[in-house]
Amino acid sequence: MRKARVNGRLVLAAPESPDVALCPACGEPVEKRKRARQDGQATYFWRHKVGVGDGCPLRYQPVA
């Protein structure tokens, strides 16, 4: 997800954003992650911690 809650405000994932925030949908902790794009630039996003956020609509749900 691109946005998460920090001190009650939605914050876009970026290099200067905090490492831990709260999911806007379920309120569980999310961690900031970084991924390299094919052009070499970095993209930032928030992801639920392992084992947290089960049932959250923003968490990836594989299709059976």
pLDDT for the residue numbered 7: 93
CA distance 57 to 64: 16
| For the chain, percent of residues with pLDDT exceeding 90 | 61
Assess contact for 12 and 18: CB atoms under 8 A: no
The confidence band for 20, taking pLDDT boundaries of 50, 70 and 90, is: very high
Q: How much is the average pLDDT of 18-44?
A: 93
Q: How much is the average pLDDT of 12-18?
A: 95
Q: What is the dihedral angle through the alpha carbons of 9, 11, 17, 20, rounded to the nearest 10 degrees?
A: 70
Q: Which residue has the higher pLDDT, 52 or 64?
A: 52
